[in-house]
Amino acid sequence: MQKIAILGSTGSIGTNALDVVSRFPGKFKVSYLSANSNIKLLAQQIKRFKPKAVCVGSGNVNGARVYRGEQGLRRIVKDMPVDVLVVGIVGSSALLPILAALPNIKRLALANKEALVMAGDIIMKKAKRNKVGILPVDSEHSAIFQCMAKDNAQEIKNIYLTGSGGPLLRTPMKNFKNITPHQAINHPRWKMGKKISVDSATMMNKGLEVIEAHHLFGLGVDRIKVVIHPETVVHSMVEFVDGSTLAQMATCDMRTPIQYALTYPSRVASPVKGVKFSELGALNFSQPDFKRFPCLEIAYDAAKKGKTYPCVLNASNEMAVTEFLKGHIRFTDIARVIEKVQGLHKAVKNATLNEILEIDKWARCKTEEILGAYNN
Ligand code: MG
């Protein structure tokens, strides 16, 4: 019996993870859950999965020991060692809980990409020191992990991250400045949280995934390519030095990468239907257009420069997306402000955690300052 815990249990990753866990009652026992504000759903999860403890952002629940807020999250991961920790919370708030958890877990099933973008070197080193296996849950990275199959980085020529192109792939670019939050979060393939949906519309999501892949697989950024693949059947590909390319294909269902992260190295039966090739028709692949998706180019640039540029990229993106969702800035302002803040940053090499947290704070202040000018 493996002890499992889920951070972000009421979000799309968390609910899918619990769906997977519920099919293996003899294999996993839920130790703790965390949720931000969806107390109603958390209460149902407590009743069903009987965790010993929960952490909540706000509100009150019964039936388990309750921790609160960001500090509570760091406490709970320290107080309660588990075999598998699923991190399904979005954004930079995952960083400190992940670092606090590493000495207390055996496996990290990681859906959050922002923490790796901010402090990938620190996380990967600490995971190695503590002999924690990091299993990617992000569908593209799970695909690459599955295609790699063994520790064979020297046999890999390139990896290809596929992206659907999001809801604005065919929208005339002259309309971009008037894109509403509702249009931006209307993803054609995946049902996800608001932040990652906006990131998909700008393709910043794919840019963050390039940096995520760089850390997870130890590959140089120049060997990580992005291709637009609107059908989203191929979740990513690995090209080997002998000219062979392996692709992982599956229907769009997060339970597939989640389950693999939990049961690896075994594959176990699942209710998720396989790809129906005879009904597919054509699969299309094309080069992303940086004019249409300036955020992708900015992210690539930050990834290539390395140091603390990705940390600043993530902070200003989080702020800009929040302001866009509130209706305070235009869709096209997101890329503009991120680029400006990148230009103002004085990067630090081999930054410590404290330096990273300081730079994250600086980037948020700068972004706010520049956004303030847009608001007026
Ligand atoms: Mg992804």
Closest alpha carbon to 162 in 277, 272, 287, 280: 287
Please report, for residues 12, 103, 105, 166, 321, the alpha-carbon distance to residue 99 in angstroms, rounded to integers and kept in the order given: 23, 8, 11, 32, 25
Report the mean per-residue pLDDT for the chain: 96
* pLDDT tens for each residue of 60-69: 999 999 999 9
Q: Is 315 helix (H, G, I), strand (E, B) or coil?
A: helix
Q: How far is the CA of 374 from the centre of ligand 1 (A)?
A: 30
- Burial category of 2 from C-beta neighbours within 10 Å (exposed 0-12, middle 13-18, buried 19 and up): middle
Q: How far is the CA of 215 from the centre of ligand 1 (A)?
A: 15
Q: What is the pLDDT of residue 374?
A: 74
As a whole number of angstroms, the distance between CA 39 and CA 34 comes to 10
Q: What is the pLDDT of residue 328?
A: 93
> What is the edge-to-edge ordering of all strands in the sheet holding 2-7?
65-68, 53-56, 28-35, 2-7, 84-87, 107-110, 133-136
* pLDDT tens for each residue of 241-262: 999 999 999 999 999 999 999 9
Q: How far is the CA of 78 from the centre of ligand 1 (A)?
A: 28
Q: How far is the CA of 285 from the centre of ligand 1 (A)?
A: 17
In this structure, the chain runs to a length of 376
Range 155-161 average pLDDT: 96
Split at pLDDT 50, 70, 90, the class of 190 is confident
Q: How far is the CA of 143 from the centre of ligand 1 (A)?
A: 10
- Bond before 167 cis per omega within 30 degrees: no
Q: How far is the CA of 342 from the centre of ligand 1 (A)?
A: 24
Q: Check if CATH label 3.40.50.720 holds for domain 2-136.
A: yes
Q: What is the pLDDT of residue 193?
A: 85
Does the pLDDT value for residue 120 go beyond 90?
Answer: yes
Q: What is the pLDDT of residue 153?
A: 79
Range 176-190 average pLDDT: 89
Architecture of the CATH domain 306-376: Orthogonal Bundle (1.10)
Q: How far is the CA of 264 from the centre of ligand 1 (A)?
A: 19
Q: How far is the CA of 209 from the centre of ligand 1 (A)?
A: 7
Percent of the chain with pLDDT over 90: 95
Q: How far is the CA of 50 from the centre of ligand 1 (A)?
A: 30
Token pair, residue 361, equals 């704070």
Token pair, residue 255, equals 């339970």
* pLDDT tens for each residue of 199-220: 999 999 999 999 999 999 999 9
Q: How far is the CA of 375 from the centre of ligand 1 (A)?
A: 31
Q: How far is the CA of 62 from the centre of ligand 1 (A)?
A: 34
Q: How far is the CA of 213 from the centre of ligand 1 (A)?
A: 11
Q: How far is the CA of 86 from the centre of ligand 1 (A)?
A: 16
Q: How far is the CA of 140 from the centre of ligand 1 (A)?
A: 5
Question: Between β-strands 53-56 and 28-35, what pairing exists: parallel, antiparallel or unpaired?
Answer: parallel
Q: How far is the CA of 190 from the centre of ligand 1 (A)?
A: 10
Does the pLDDT value for residue 186 go beyond 60?
Answer: yes
Range 176-194 average pLDDT: 87
Does the pLDDT value for residue 376 go beyond 60?
Answer: no
Q: What is the pLDDT of residue 274?
A: 96
* pLDDT tens for each residue of 273-308: 999 999 999 999 999 999 999 999 999 999 999 999
Q: What is the pLDDT of residue 182?
A: 93
Q: How far is the CA of 192 from the centre of ligand 1 (A)?
A: 10
Does the pLDDT value for residue 375 go beyond 70?
Answer: no
Q: What residues does the ion ligand 1 have nearby, CB within 5 Å?
A: 138-140
Q: How far is the CA of 77 from the centre of ligand 1 (A)?
A: 25
Give me the residue spans of the domains in the chain: 2-136, 149-252+272-291, 306-376
